[in-house]
Structure formats: structure tokens, C-alpha cells
Amino acid sequence: MRIFLVINKFAGRKNNYKKVLKKIQYRLKSNHYIVEYAFSEYRGHATKLAADAAKKNFDRIVAVGGDGTVNEVALGLLETSKVMGIIPTGSGNGLARDLGISTGIEKSIDSLLKGNVKQIDVCRFNKQHFLCTSGIGFDASVADKMGKTKKRGFLQYIKLTIQESISFQPFNIKIQIDDKIIEKPVFLLTFANARQFGNNAFIAPLANMGDGLIDVVLVNPFNKILLPVFAIALFTKIIHKLPFVETYKAKKVELENTETNIFHFDGEPGKLIVPAKISIDTNKLNVICG
């Protein structure tokens, strides 16, 4: 079997990719796999590398990086029947975690060798595809600030999250969820395919990546004294039970108006254009699970 690795050497700890690559090559070649690889050098490059590998008829195309790398590799495989693997080396690793893939390198390689192939939904925010979550508000603001800092990693993400929680203010939206129209201020608005942002922070515990539906999570403004409660609910999978949280399952969503100009897709910041349509793509993605 021929495997192609698309590696983001900037994901995770600095220069860690050398050790990761050595481990992957050793394990795969020991199991009689033919391995080739390339490094993504700029935004969108991983998509091109994955698409080229699919044309060269590799059996597996593997994203070695964080959620951004996984998103780009998936985009390169959408119109093919090729199978994507994931070896997570990023900060959040939302899709990998939701698919039961360990963030430990050895165990994630085990998943690549022994895991089952699952077909999952792919969502769109306007023209931008996402696999885990997308949205506007508090989480998008944190993603935007994370994208502007040179420091990476979970601790930096926590630091920015705490800083942003102090200053962030709710904003107005107007949205249509299937036939329901909502117009009000919100703290955040998330569109989920997977259950979590990453790092086991479950924003949509009831989401199912194969049900053909978008989970919409609307967090109404709440007293900031409850921020610890909100955080605990995220990590204990009970956020949907909080009195200031609304959840919906929808086939299509249209964000008609809002006061913010940024959104995020799988943790990556983007410029928001409204009205915006959030939908399920016609293509599915074949991915190896843990």
C-alpha cells in the first residue's frame, strides 16, 4: 500500500516534526508500506499536495498537523474516493479526537494501520469548507487573535481565551435556521459537524458527523461570573443543558445579518461576508477512524 504524508512542520512544538516523521516512516515501512511525503509551505498548499497525491493514485493521503492542515488535505480529496488519514500534531486536533484518534503519535499510527474507514459529512460556510466547527462570536475572536500571534500551542490558546473573555461584548445577529428566524444579541454562534472545537471542548455534544445535519449552538449573553460554569460545561459535554444555550439541528442555515466581520472555520480565522449560507456539501469524505 502506498501512503502519502502531507506534513505541516509548523504545527505543535517547534521542530517536533523531525521526530514525528522519523517515527511514522519507521512504523509504516516496518509494516511494508511505501511512504512518500511533502511539507506544506503556505496557506492552501496542503490542498494542492493532497490533490496531486490523489491523482498519483496513493492509497492513503495522511494529514500530519492540526485542524487547519486536516481541513486543507480534506479539501484536496473531496471529489475523489480516496481515504484520508490523520496523525494529529496541532494544538486542538478536534476532528482527530472526535474520530477516536489518539494525539499520541504511536497510537495515531496504530489507527492509521488498523482503523476502520468512515464516511463523514463536510460542511460549508459560504464557499469555505469545514469539518469540525465554524462560527462567529467569542470563539471566532479568539481564533482571529491566535492567528495573529507567533506563539502556538494549548497554553497560548488558554491565555488568549482568558484575555478575550474579559473584554468580549455580545453582538446582534439575524439568522434563519431552516424555517425559524432568530434576531437577538448573542455571545457566540457555532455551526457544528463534529462535537468539539478541539482539546475535548464539546460545543455540540449531540452532533453526528454522518447525519446530514448541521448542529447550531447559540449562546445567549450571560453574566461573566458564570464563565467558569460555561467552561466546565464545555469539557463535561453538558453545555446544551445550560439555560442560556439554545441548540438546533438543521439542513440549511442563513446568517442574514450580524455586527461582526470575522468568522472561523476549523479554528482558522476568516473574513465574514453576509448574508452567509451554512450547508452540507454534496460530497462526503472517507477518513480513517481510531
The enclosing domain of 161 has a CATH number of: 2.60.200.40
Residue with cell 465554524: 134
User: What average pLDDT score do residues 91-111 get?
Assistant: 93
- Residue 198: per-residue pLDDT: 87
Question: Residue 15: pLDDT above 60?
Answer: no
Q: How many domains does the chain have?
A: 2
Amino acid at 36: E
- Residue 152: per-residue pLDDT: 65
Q: For 201-246, write each residue's pLDDT tens digit.
A: 999 999 999 999 999 999 999 999 999 999 999 999 999 999 999 9
In a domain, 122, yes or no: no
Say if residue 108 is in the same domain as residue 168: no
What's the predicted TM-score (pTM) here? Answer: 0.91
Question: Residue 162: pLDDT above 90?
Answer: no
The enclosing domain of 11 has a CATH number of: 3.40.50.10330
Q: For 57-99, write each residue's pLDDT tens digit.
A: 899 999 999 999 999 999 999 989 999 999 999 888 999 999 9
- Residue 153: per-residue pLDDT: 64
Domain encompassing residue 58: 2-115
Say if residue 200 is in the same domain as residue 258: yes
Q: For 39-66, write each residue's pLDDT tens digit.
A: 999 999 999 999 999 999 899 999 999 9
Say if residue 134 is in the same domain as residue 243: yes
How far is the C-alpha of 136 from the C-alpha of 138, rounded, in Å?
7
Q: Which long-range contacts (CB under 8 A, 24 or more apart) does 139-144 make?
A: 139/188, 139/190, 139/197, 139/203, 139/264, 140/188, 140/260, 140/262, 140/263, 140/264, 140/269, 141/168, 141/260, 141/262, 143/264, 143/267, 143/268, 143/269, 144/262, 144/264, 144/269
Looking at 91, 115, 139, the residue that finishes a domain is: 115
Say if residue 235 is in the same domain as residue 93: no
Amino acid at 174: K
Amino acid at 266: D
- Residue 14: per-residue pLDDT: 56
The percentage of the chain sitting over the pLDDT mark of 90, rounded to a whole number, equals: 81
pLDDT band per the 50, 70, 90 thresholds, residue 132: very high
Residues 175 and 182: beta-carbon distance below 8 Å? yes
Q: For 169-196, write each residue's pLDDT tens digit.
A: 999 999 999 999 999 999 999 999 999 9
In a domain, 286, yes or no: no
